Structure 1
Amino acid sequence: MTIEQRVIIRVPMARKGRAPARITEKAADAWDEKKGPRCVALRSIRAAAIAVRNGVDLILADDHRYRARLEKGCDAAAFYSGFYVEPDEDGSLCSGRDELQARGGTSCAIESFKRLIAVEPDD
């Protein structure tokens, strides 16, 4: 007899509610994208948000933000109600290896991570 264990981690969205009517450029313009890491520790992810069509913003416990850029053809709006991740042995979510699974069934690979820096508003 073989016993297997499967763990799935659910990541909630920062703002609960219905699907966004449309993703606005204003939301995307609030952040500058810089080069990010290859992997993000799953234990540090606290919530997620959608600000661009092809990415999901991850909000970490230390208030840093990273944008998971999704593979071509994936629409981030599918992840409006949160997503699931199957953790690897290293406990990290990595680009080029892992994928996000929407609660509705959509699955998208992560192409890259971008570090997000808040843009200073113009007065």
Structure 2
Amino acid sequence: MSLLSPLVSLLIALGSPQADAGDTTVRHAPVENEAADATLSSRSIDWRGFLDPRTVPVANQVRIERRVILRISPQPSAMRRGFTAELPRQAPVRMAERPHGDCVSAAEIVGVADRGSRLVMYMRNRQIISAELEKACSPRDFYLGFYVERNDDGKLCVGRDRLMSRAGAKCRVSDFHRLVAVTD
């Protein structure tokens, strides 16, 4: 840096008006093609920012989107085995489907599993809800869980919301049923 400072001061002195007091005219480089600048500026407004740096480009529209996506994942299988290992061995419980409303609170879903032709959702209040998907959808696509875009009401509703699997499948729920244990 110390080697460059004398060179820089020399260049500044040669270029300053005090260096040559007799020559007060300022010379500009000749513009070769002003017609090219005019044609570019007349073609599109986008070129004006490049040709005239003093103008500030104006944004006509600003759009801000906010999306919240909830991820519902299955419980780890080791955790499921640990719960059942502590219980005494009993005959399997028979489950029956009962009607359920058209919506389920998405925040209450704590786990999901695919069971045959249905998607079974485990709720925070220990209810089990089965979801029937559209005809073209397979519950096996959702074995790793699903994503659902959060709505204003925070609910997952029949025919309105779309479930997105991690594998890329997108399906709507066609019906909800509540599973209850049946005693013989």
TM norm. shorter chain > 0.5: yes
Which 4+ runs in 1 deviate beyond 4 A?
none
Counterpart position of 1:112: 175
Matches within 5 A, 1:27-106: 30-53=94-117, 55-106=118-169
**Structure 2: which 5+ runs fail to align?**
1-61, 79-92
What displacement does 1:42 show? Answer: 1.0
Which structure has the bigger radius of gyration?
Answer: 2
Q: Is the aligned partner of 1:9 residue 2:73? A: no
User: Partner letter of residue 148 of structure 2?
Assistant: V
Structure 2 length-normalised TM: 0.55
**Structure 1: which 5+ runs fail to align?**
18-28
SS of the equivalent of 1:72 reads coil
Higher strand share: 1
* Cα deviation 1:27-78 (Å, max 9, x = unaligned): xx8421110111001111111111122x211111010011111011211001
* Cα deviation 1:12-32 (Å, max 9, x = unaligned): 113459xxxxxxxxxxx8421
Aligned length, in residue pairs: 109
SS of the equivalent of 1:78 reads helix
- Higher relative contact order at CA 8 Å, sep ≥6: structure 1 or structure 2? 1
Q: How many percent identity over aligned positions? A: 37
SS of the equivalent of 2:147 reads strand
* Cα deviation 1:69-104 (Å, max 9, x = unaligned): 101121100101111001111110000111211100
Higher helix share: 2
CA distance in 2: counterparts of 1:115 and 1:49, whole angstroms = 15
CA distance in 1: counterparts of 2:175 and 2:164, whole angstroms = 16
- Computed over aligned residues only, the root mean square deviation of the Cα atoms, in angstroms, reads 1.8
